[in-house]
Amino acid sequence: MPSFWRAVCSRCSPGRGSGAAGRPAGLASPGRRLAGCVAVAFLAAGLLIGGTAGRARAVGPLAALVRAERTVEAVVVLTDDPKVSRPPAGATGTGAGGPGGAAATATVRARLEAVTGPDRRVRAAVPVLLVGRAGYLAAYLPGQRLGVRATLAPPGPGETIAAVLFARAPPHSQGRPPLAQRAAGWLRARLRTAASVVAQPAGGLLPAMVVGDTSKLDPELKDDFRVAGLSHLTAVSGANAAIATGAVLVVLGRTRLGSRARAFAAAAALVSFVILARPSASVVRAAAMGLVGLAALAAGRPRAVVAALATAVMAVIVLDPTFALSAGFALSVLATAGMVVWGPGWCDGFERRLAARRPRPSRRLLAGATRIAQAVAVAAAAQLACTPVLAWLGGGISLVAIPANVIAAPAVAPATLLGLLTMAVATLHPPAAELFARLAGLPCRWLVLVAGRAADLPGAAIGWPSGPLGAAAALAGVVLALALARRPPTRRLLAAVIAGLLVARLFLVPRLAGWPPAGWRLVACDVGQGDGLVLRAGAGSAVVVDVGPDPELMAACLADLGVRRVPLLVLSHLHADHAAGLSGVLGRLPVGEMIVSPLPEPTEQWAEVEHGARAAGVTVRSVLSGSAGASGTVGDVRWQVIGPQRVLRGTASDPNNASLVLLAEVGGVTMLLSGDAEPPEQRQVARAGAVTVDVLKVAHHGSADQIPEFLTGTGARAALISVGVGNTYGHPAAATLASLRAAGIIIGRTDLHGAVAVVRQPSGRVALVARRPGRM
C-alpha cells in the first residue's frame, strides 16, 4: 500500500523541507507539541473520569442486587453483536446445549435500563455483559431491546461494566432494532455468505477485516496474527475506516462537488461504515479523527493531523469516559500519534541517506527503496509508540512485527476494497459477489501466509513482564532507543546491540532456557501424590486446575512457568491431594474467581477453601455440568464442565465421583481433565456423548478404575498421569499403563519425569516435554 505510506509520510502542515522558522524537516513544531500535550492531558482526565464513573457504578441499589447475586427481570438494550463461544472441540452429545450438541455460550455487551428484583425495581443506564446460551442470544442485533430473566453477578477486576447477567431463559424482544442496524446486519450476512466460498482460514479473515465479523475467524489464525504483531488486521481498525473513506473521497474528487460537499458526503460514508463495522475502540478513534479532519477539509485546513487527533481523543473520552480505560483505544491513539509525529521525520531521514549514497542509485531504484523505507519508518513508529501498552497488557513483545507489517501492508487495501465491493455486489446479485469474494480472498491468503510464516519463526516473540513494571521497562527501552538513534555513532552502536540480542534470542537462549518449553499449552506440575495442572491463558496468565497437597510445590511450579495471575482457579473436588495446596496460589497471586465441585465434602477442607477465598476476596462458585457459568473463555483457554451432571450418592467415594470433569482447548490443543472421577461418574459423562481430544489427564492418578470410553476411547495422542513417587496406593496401575500403551498413547508421569508440559509443534502435532528427562 505505497500510497498509504506516502500519505502518512507527507507533512502534517503545508510544504516539506525546512519549517517556516528554519526548523529541520520532521521535527514537531511548538504548536504540534502543545497539541500533543493537550491530548495527553485530556486522556489523563478521561482516565480519571472513567475510573470515577466505574467506581460510581459499584454503589446504590443496583450494587446491592449484584452483590447478592439476585435473579431479576431485566430490560437491556444490546450495544454490540453477540459473540458465540463454541465449546472446546470434541464436545458432542447432549449437555447444556440440548440434544445433539454441546452447549455454546454467547456474550454480548448491553446497556441496562431497569431491573425488577424480589422487593424493588431499579432504573439504571449502565453497561453490562449479558451471558446466555447461543440459542438465546446469537440472532439479535445491536439496538435490540430485550426483556430477560437473569441472575446478576459482579464484574471481574478492571471491568468497566456494572454487572454480568446470566440469562436463565430465552429473552423476549421488545420492538425491533433500529433500521440502520437491521440494514447493517443484512449487509454483514450477505458478505459472510459470499465469503464462505473462500477456503478457510482466508474465508474467515475476509469479513473480519472488512466489517469486523469474527464469527468465522479461525482461532489458530488469530493466534498467529497476535504473535506476528498483525492483530489489528483480524478486526476492523482505523486503517480500514481510512481506506473506505479515502476511496469515497477519491471518487468524489473526480466530480465537480466543492470541498464542503465532498466533506459532508465522506462524513456520511464514514458514519455508515462505523455502523456497519460496529464501534470498536480503533474505529471510534478513526471516526472521530476522520470527522474532525473532514471538518478541517470543509473549513479549508486539511492538514492539521495532530490537532485532529487531539480533538478526537478529547471528544471521545468526554462523550464516553469508559474509552479512557480501553486498551484498544489507547493502542489506536498511540499508533496514530507515532505515525504522524515520528513517521515524517524518519521518512525524511531515510530518503536523505538513500539520496546521499555514492554511486547515486537510479531514479527507479531510488523510488522503490524510498517506498520501502517509508513503510519501515511508519511501521516502526506505530510499533514503538504502542510497545509500553502492549507490554502492560502482557503477551510478550513481537520481534517480527515491523517486517511482518511491512510485508503484509500491500495486501490490506486490496482486501478491504474488494471486500467492500463484494458486499455491495452481494446486495444486488449474490452469485456475482462470489467472484469478487474469490478475488478478495487472494490478498487475504497472502496475509494468512505472512502471519503463519512470521509466527513460526524461532524467537518470533519474547516474554516480557506485564503490568506497570513491564510497561515502565518497555517505555525506558523505547526512550533509550530513540535517544541512541539520534546520532550516527550511537545509532551504529544501537544497531549492533539489537543485532546481537536477536542472534542471542534466536540461537543461544533456546539452548540455555530449557523450561518451560516454547509453545507450552498445559503443564502437569510435580506436586507429589496429587494433581496440579496449569493451562496457559496468555503471557503471565494461567487457568489452574487443582493445587496438589503442598502449597510450596504448587507455588514453585507457577513461578517456574512465569505465571503472575490466575483469572480462574478450579478445584475438581475437595480431597487434600487436590485442594490442600490452595495457599500456594491464593494470597500469593491475583485470582479472578474460583469454581469448585458441587459436593462440599470433606467438610473440613471446604471450610478451609471458604476461609482462604474470603481472605483473598475471591468469589467461589459450585457448578454442575450444564449450569450457568459451567463454561467460558479465559484468554487462550476455552473450557467447559461436562461432569458431573448430578451429584452421585452411595458410591465408593462420593467426592471422587463429584469431581469436575473439564473439556478444555488451549491454542488448538484439546484436553480432557478428569479429576479423580471413578467409573460411576465416568459412565455418567460417557452417556452424554463421545468426547474426542488430543490429551487425556488420566483420572485418579492412573488407578485401575477406568472405563474404556475414558481411557482409550477419546482418541488422545498423549496422556498425563499426576502421581507421587513411591506412593502406597499402587498408582499408576499396571493394567492402566498397559491399556494406554496398547492404544499407542504417549504417557507422561510426574513421578518419573517431574513436571510434564504439553506442546504443540509447528506441524500441529502434540508432544510431551519432561522437566526431568526420562523415557516416555
- Taking only the tens place, the pLDDT of each residue in 82-114 is 887 655 555 444 333 333 334 567 888 898 988
**What's the pLDDT tens digit per position in 227-274?**
778 877 776 666 677 777 777 777 777 777 777 777 777 778 778 888
Mean pLDDT is lowest, of 359-368, 601-610, 650-659, for 359-368
Which of 289, 330, 339, 280 has its CA nearest to residue 311? 289
CA torsion through residues 145, 150, 151, 156, sign: negative
Asked whether the beta carbons of 295 and 264 are under 8 A apart, the reply is no
Is 602 in contact with 577 (CB distance < 8 Å)?
no
Cell 540455555 sits on residue: 512
47 has pLDDT over 50: no
pLDDT confidence of residue 660: 95
Query: What's the pLDDT score for residue 730?
Result: 86
Q: What is the pTM of this model?
A: 0.60
What percent of the chain has a predicted confidence (pLDDT) above 90?
Answer: 23
Per-residue pLDDT at 258 = 74
Check: CB of residue 283 under 8 Å from CB of residue 326.
no
pLDDT of residue 637: 93
Asked if 269 contacts 277 with a C-beta cutoff of 8 angstroms, the reply is no
Residue 23 confidence (pLDDT): 40
**Grid coordinates given for 341:** 509525529
Q: CA-CA distance, 515 to 609, in Å (whole number)?
A: 31
C-alpha cell at 394: 502482557
pLDDT at 744 over 60: yes
What pLDDT, on the 0 to 100 scale, is given for residue 13?
A: 37
Please determine, for residue 594, whether its predicted confidence score (pLDDT) is greater than 90. yes
pLDDT at 358: 64
What does the pLDDT look like over 444-474, one tens digit per residue?
999 999 888 887 676 666 667 767 787 888 8
Q: Which pLDDT tens digit goes with each residue over 405-419?
A: 888 888 888 898 899
Highest mean pLDDT among 240-244, 490-494, 593-597: 593-597
For 22: left if phi > 0, alpha if psi spans -120 to 50, otherwise beta; the answer is: left
Q: Are 130 and 144 in contact (CB under 8 A)?
A: no
Distance CA 699, CA 659 (A): 10
Q: What is the pLDDT of residue 688?
A: 79
Least confident of 10-19, 449-458, 765-774: 10-19
**Cβ contact 655:675 at 8 Å:** no
Q: Using 50, 70 and 90 to split pLDDT, how confident is the model at 661?
A: very high
The span from the CA of 340 to the CA of 344, in Å, is 7
Give me the mean pLDDT over the 474-487 stretch.
83
CB 377 within 8 A of CB 354: no
- pLDDT on residue 641: 92
**Which of 107-121, 202-216, 343-357, 513-527 shows the lowest mean pLDDT across its residues?**
343-357
Angle, CA 149 vertex, CA 147 and CA 151 arms, to 5° = 130
Question: What would the grid cell of residue 189 be?
Answer: 450476512
Q: How many CB atoms lie within 10 A of CB 27?
A: 14
Q: For the residues 298-302, what does the mean pLDDT come to?
A: 56
∠ CA 586-588-592 to the nearest 5 degrees?
A: 50
Place of cell 527501552: 477
One-letter identity of residue 414: P
CB 658 within 8 A of CB 599: yes
Which of 24-38, 164-178, 282-296, 549-563 has the least mean pLDDT? 24-38
**pLDDT given at position 675:** 93
Nearest to 668 by CA among 747, 746, 756, 766: 766
What value does the mean pLDDT of the chain take? 79
The pLDDT value given to residue 535? 96
Cβ atoms within 10 Å, residue 123: 11
Res. 25: pLDDT tops 90: no
What integer pLDDT is reported at residue 76 of this predicted model?
92
Compute the distance between CA of residue 34 and CA of residue 310 in angstroms, rounded to an integer. Answer: 10
| C-beta of residue 510 within 8 angstroms of C-beta of residue 459 | yes
Cα distance between residue 657 and residue 678, in whole Å? 6
Amino acid sitting at position 444:
C
Distance CA 688, CA 673 (A): 16
Question: Which of 356, 350, 410 minimizes the C-alpha distance to 380?
Answer: 350
State the average pLDDT over residues 559-572.
92
Please, are residues 115 and 62 in contact by the beta-carbon 8 Å criterion? yes
Residue 298 in this model has a pLDDT that exceeds 80 = no
202-211 and 179-195 helices cross at what angle (nearest 10)? Answer: 160
Q: Confirm if 693 and 766 have CB atoms less than 8 A apart.
A: no
User: For residue 8, is pLDDT > 60?
Assistant: no
DSSP assignment letter at 754:
S
The pLDDT score that the predictor gives to residue 395 is: 58
Residue among 122, 97, 127, 124 at smallest CA distance from 111: 127
How many Å apart are CA 623 and CA 642, to the nearest integer?
Answer: 10
Closest of 740, 732, 729 to residue 768, by C-alpha: 740
Q: How far is CA 744 from CA 214, 720, 737, 741, 747, in A?
A: 37, 14, 11, 5, 9
pLDDT of residue 481: 83
pLDDT of residue 525: 95
How far apart, in Å, do the first and last CA atoms of the chain sit?
51
More confident residue, 340 or 13: 340
Beta bridge partners of 541: 538, 565
pLDDT tens digits, 132-184: 888 888 889 888 999 999 888 877 655 677 888 888 889 999 988 889 888 88
For residue 179, how many other CB atoms are within 10 A of its CB? Answer: 9
